[in-house]
Each structure stands twice: as C-alpha cells, then as structure tokens.
Amino acid sequence: MTLRVPSSQSDAFDALRSLFDTLPDVQAWIKDARRRYLWANRAFLLNYGMHDLAEVLGKTDDDLSPAHLAAHFREGDEAVLAGQTVQGRLELVGRFDHTAAWCFTTKLPVRNARGRAVGTAGVTRTLDAAQIDQRRDIRLGVIISLMTRRMHEHVENAEMARTAGMSPRAFERAFAREYGLPPQQYLKRLRIQTACRRLVDTRESIADIALRCGFADQSHLTRQFRRVTGVTPGNYRETYAAAIVPRPAAPVLSACRRRR
C-alpha cells in the first residue's frame, strides 16, 4: 500500500525544504537507517562541492568524509537510532577542499507510523573557537578549543583533564567515547587537518606550516602527513591548492588505509 500525502501537507514539506535552503550557515539532512542520505539542503551540498540533490542521494558519510570523521558521524547516528539524544554536539565537519570546521550538531530520529526509528535527521552549524569557549556546559568542547589555540605546543592529557575539571582517567575515557580517539591521537589528526587547510588556503612554506601545526620541523610533518594521507605535503598542495572548482570530498585521511 502506498502512503499518499495530502497536497496541503506536501506543500508544507516543500516550503520547509525551501526554508532550509535559505540558511547559508546551517547544514541539514535526512538519512535512512543504513545511513544513506535521502535529502540535504543547499548549504550541505555546497559544503561537499555538490550542486544537485541527486549527487548525494544514496551516499553515506564514508563516501563524503575522511574515515575518522565518518566513524564519528556513524556513532552519532547509531546512538540516535538506539534512542539516545545527540544535541549540541561539538564535532569536526569536513569540506570539499579537505579543510574542516568545528560545528555544533543536533540529530533526531525519524519514526514510522508505529513509532519505530527508521532513520535520522540532523542539522549542524559552524562555530569559531570563541563560540566554543562560551559553551562551558560542554567541557570537552573547551578542550577542542584548547587544542586549536595551542596546536603549536605540547599539551599533556593531565592539563586537558584539569581544564575540563575531570580526573585524567575519566577525561581520557570520556574523550575517547565522545570523539572516537584518545586525546593525543585526536590532536595529531587535528594538526594534520589544519596542515591540510593551510596547504590549500595559504602560500606559507611547508616549514612554517609544520611549526604552526606543532611539528618539530618540515621532516617531522612530512613523515606524519604521509603516514596519515599517503602523500607528502608538497604533493597534497599541488593536487588541491588550485582546486577552485568545487568537487565532492574524497576520504583523504583514509587514503593510507586503501593502499594497504
């Protein structure tokens, strides 16, 4: 039996979709229970270098984002499908140019007539470090801001734990549960992501980028960068720095996994 939506209700849905398309800084989407995209607004499409809804239909985050980000998004979807709430969650969201931005994300279940969760709907809004600092109710969000501000320094887990007002062991458990990686591994990934952005968006020397992102020198950056991405910083810049035309994001940070 096919469910027919009354024309007035259908018109309301169309109006709501059009409304979401007018929000430049808010990405919105709907997925099914297998994490496949059923709908996304214009800001979402542009974020991933797309221009038509058909380009994203049926795809998952594994198709759009680096492996560690896709895993984080999948964790949130599974939590919502299991009945948990994801509201105001701080997370890193990638872009078509392989840079990334910190966002606050909220996800809700999509339920069928019997009340069973059959998918998820979500919105995410880009924030800057100052806004993250203002959200003192999200203790781990303050840690992400700390990592971002002091990326060029060595920050111990004990200091992060004190900043979050937690014991070191409780902090490490909470951080790994929320972000899918231990704090120091996450910081390494953040440094690589930031280096990616600076390689694409600036003409700074690779040596300067290495120091800005917390690496001992250019050789240290090159070793870590190749280990994560499978290419050198120089090759990465040659490939993506001139990418003026938007293009769908590729899982750059999982490239090394594909080569194994």
DSSP line for 172-214: HHHHHHHHSS-HHHHHHHHHHHHHHHHHHH----HHHHHHHTT
Indicate the burial class of 71 (C-beta count within 10 angstroms; 0-12, 13-18, 19 or more).
Answer: middle
User: pLDDT value at position 233?
Assistant: 93
Which residues on adjacent β-strands are paired with residue 145? Answer: none
Strand ordering across the sheet containing 117-126: 37-40, 26-32, 117-126, 100-111, 86-94
Report d(CA 76, CA 31) in Å as an integer.
12
For position 222, what pLDDT does the model report? 96
What are the distances in angstroms from CA 251 to CA 3, 63, 64? 38, 7, 7
Q: Which residues pair with 105 in a beta bridge?
A: 89, 124
- How confident is the prediction along the chain (260 residues), in pLDDT tens digits per residue? 334 445 566 677 788 888 888 887 899 999 999 999 999 998 999 888 888 899 999 999 989 987 767 878 888 899 999 988 788 787 778 777 666 677 889 999 999 989 899 999 999 998 766 665 565 445 677 787 788 888 899 999 999 999 988 999 999 998 888 777 899 988 988 888 788 878 877 889 999 999 999 999 999 999 999 988 888 999 888 876 654 333 433 333 333 333 33
pLDDT of 129: 61
Whole-prediction pTM: 0.54
Q: 239: how many CB neighbours lie within 10 A of its CB?
A: 14
**Residue type present at position 59:** K
pLDDT value of position 250: 38
Q: 117: burial class by Cβ within 10 Å (0-12, 13-18, 19+)?
A: middle
Model pLDDT, residue 130: 63
